[in-house]
Structure 1
Amino acid sequence: MGKIYVSKQKVRNFVSRVSCDKTDAIEKEYEALLTQEIKSLDAFKRLEEALSEAQKAAKDIRQAGFGDSVLASIPTSEFLIDRMISRCESFYNEPPKTWASICKLLKPFVERLAKVRNARQSAYRIIDEAQTGRAAADALKEAGLDYYTWENRQPEMVLDLSALKGGD
């Protein structure tokens, strides 16, 4: 039986998939940490109590026959946390003082994400410089990222992109 054809695009898709899996895991990790930190604040606990009271009042307004637009316009605490996290991501490079605490928590995760992105770019460079897809896969294997193992993996197996050194 001959060797299976390995295209550069297949290898590129492999690198993309491994990179996305790694960045998704990091993002879930920092979102969980930030959510935990935000929910632990006394001020946020007071905000949740106020939101609960506002929802009760809005339900009373709805029951009185004045519609449910007031109830629909009251945000949930999860919505507010998601907004804080997404705003922090956009402010990260130059955060205003009011966002300093959340950006400080985010810093190690941003650095880890940058390493994954650098490693992905290094892998793409290896692929682009290779003559064939098989040569690219072989070069990546030498660098610590095994396409062949991934291709033959169990569906639940996840490879670690950190084996590949990022940057120039």
Structure 2
Amino acid sequence: MTKPYISKQKVRNFVSRVSCDKTDAIEKEYEALLTQEIKSLDAFKRLEEALSEARKAAKDIRQAGFGDSVLASIPTSEFLIDRMISRCKSFYNEPPKTWASICELLKPFVERLAKVRNARQSAYRIIDEAQTGRGAADALKEAGLDYYTWEARKPEMVLDLSALKGGD
């Protein structure tokens, strides 16, 4: 039986997929840690209480017939946490003093992300230098990244074409 054709692009897509899976997992992990750390701060707990009181007042304003624009403009604590985390990502390399604590928590995660990105670039170099897709897959397997195992695990796409059938 002949082996199926493996293009360099298929191998590149594999590396991209593995890299994305790893970076997504790391990002979810640090977002969970930061959320936990932020929620544990006494100052943030006071902020949540203040937001709750503001929501109650805004509901009273709405009940009085003055619309719900005030209520809609009060942010949720989850929104504020997401904003802090996303702003932290942009400040990470040169954080101002006001962002130093949160950026310090991120340091190990950023280092792990950098390792994943560097490994992805190294894998791309291996692919580019290989003569064929199969050669790239073999070289990556020697380096510890097994395309063949990944390809074998990939579930077969089964198309449900029953909706296209005519009938009663």
Per the normalisation by structure 2, the TM-score is 0.91
C-alpha contact (below 8 Å) 1:18/1:161 kept by paired residues: no
Q: 1:111 to 1:164 in 2, by over 3 A?
A: farther
Aligned Cα root-mean-square deviation (Å): 11.0
Structure 1 gap segments, 5+ residues each = none
C-alpha contact (below 8 Å) 1:11/1:147 kept by paired residues: yes
Instruction: Report the Cα distance in structure 1 between the residues aligned to 2:166 and 2:118, rounded to whole angstroms.
Output: 4
Query: Larger radius of gyration, structure 1 or 2?
Result: 2
- 1:63-93: CA deviation from partner (whole Å, max 9, x where unpaired): 1111000000000000000000000000000
How many residues of Structure 1 are paired with residues of Structure 2 in the alignment? 168
C-alpha contact (below 8 Å) 1:19/1:117 kept by paired residues: yes
* Identity among equivalent pairs (%): 95
Instruction: Report the Cα distance in structure 2 between the residues aligned to 1:119 and 1:166, rounded to whole angstroms.
Output: 51
- 1:13-162 alignment to 2 at 5 Å? 13-153=13-153
- 1:90-120: CA deviation from partner (whole Å, max 9, x where unpaired): 0000000010100000000000000000000
Q: 1:56 to 1:50 in 2, by over 3 A?
A: same
C-alpha contact (below 8 Å) 1:35/1:81 kept by paired residues: yes
Instruction: Report the Cα distance in structure 2 between the residues aligned to 1:163 and 1:10, rounded to whole angstroms.
Output: 31
Q: 1:163 to 1:150 in 2, by over 3 A?
A: farther
Q: 1:142 to 1:121 in 2, by over 3 A?
A: same
Per the normalisation by structure 1, the TM-score is 0.91
Structure 2 gap segments, 5+ residues each = none
Instruction: Report the Cα distance in structure 2 between the residues aligned to 1:25 and 1:147, rounded to whole angstroms.
Output: 20
Instruction: Tell me how far 1:153 sits from its aligned partner.
Output: 1.4
Instruction: Report the Cα distance in structure 1 between the residues aligned to 2:165 and 2:112, rounded to whole angstroms.
Output: 12
Instruction: Report the Cα distance in structure 2 between the residues aligned to 1:70 and 1:19, rounded to whole angstroms.
Output: 43
Instruction: Tell me how far 1:165 sits from its aligned partner.
Output: 51
Structure 1 runs of 4+ aligned residues shifted over 6 Å read 156-168
C-alpha contact (below 8 Å) 1:34/1:85 kept by paired residues: yes
